[in-house]
Amino acid sequence: GENVEQHPSTLSVQEGDSAVIKCTYSDSASNYFPWYKQELGKRPQLIIDIRSNVGEKKDQRIAVTLNKTAKHFSLHITETQPEDSAVYFCAARGLKAAGNKLTFGGGTRVLVKP
Amino acid sequence: NAGVTQTPKFQVLKTGQSMTLQCAQDMNHEYMSWYRQDPGMGLRLIHYSVGAGITDQGEVPNGYNVSRSTTEDFPLRLLSAAPSQTSVYFCASSYGGDQPQHFGDGTRLSIL
């Protein structure tokens, strides 16, 4: 099955700096890559997603890049703010998998220091 | 729209007891999934469904059963609770396999 690895596991940045989280996946046929943000005690919420026919996608301060050849994708947060502090999860959906079978990475705890 | 509704929010069980976690969505989504999240860890797929009457196993299905008799509901049954099943359980739904998943608020389950 699909295997998704996420790095780093923790990330501390100064407010205003950028944060980058990287994920690799194993199934070369994977076609959908969402990113979720989870605040303490809350449910995961989608912040951005990208499909395999696109190399980059932006939404205000958040961007995701996808390198299909290397089988990795990254989340970029610019001008970080204290409210960006949360756990971020990447996920990948393998094309061989039926239905909504997403495989999640282990998560990155981001702390933005004021 | 209420989105994805999970009940109960909290539950404490004794080892060997059984119970059903409820999940309902009002978005007419075909795809529904159950995940468990252990402290400091990611989400692991337990079971999922691509439509009414169709279910399949995820990566950690042992000790759990599901059914999907309607599009709206996707209950998760613990057959004989074990301490290793102490976790937070999330239900999610989406229109399709490559569409955003909407998560419920979770059920925090403790098994003594």
Instruction: State whether A99 and B59 contact (CB < 8 Å).
Output: no
Cα gap B91→A99, rounded to integer Å: 15
Tell me the C-alpha to C-alpha distance, in Å, between residue B112 and each of A95, B19, B41, B76: 40, 14, 21, 19
How far apart are alpha carbons B74 and B55 in whole angstroms? 10
Instruction: Say whether B94 and A106 touch across the interface (CB within 8 A).
Output: no
Interchain CB distance below 8 Å, B90 and A44: yes
pLDDT at A97: 58
- The tens digit of pLDDT for each residue in B39-66 reads 878 899 999 999 999 999 998 999 999 9
Mean model confidence pLDDT for chain A: 93
Q: Mean pLDDT across the stretch B79-89?
A: 96
- A89 closest CB neighbour out of B31, B42, B104: B42
Give me the pLDDT at residue A101, please: 83
How high is the pLDDT of residue B96? 83
Residue A98 in this model has a pLDDT that exceeds 60 = no
- Mutation site for A-interface testing, chosen from B98, B103, B107 by largest number of A Cβ within 10 Å: B98
Confidence of residue A53 (pLDDT cuts 50, 70, 90): confident
Chain-chain contact of A99 with B31 (C-beta, under 8 angstroms): yes
Share of chain B above pLDDT 90, in %: 89
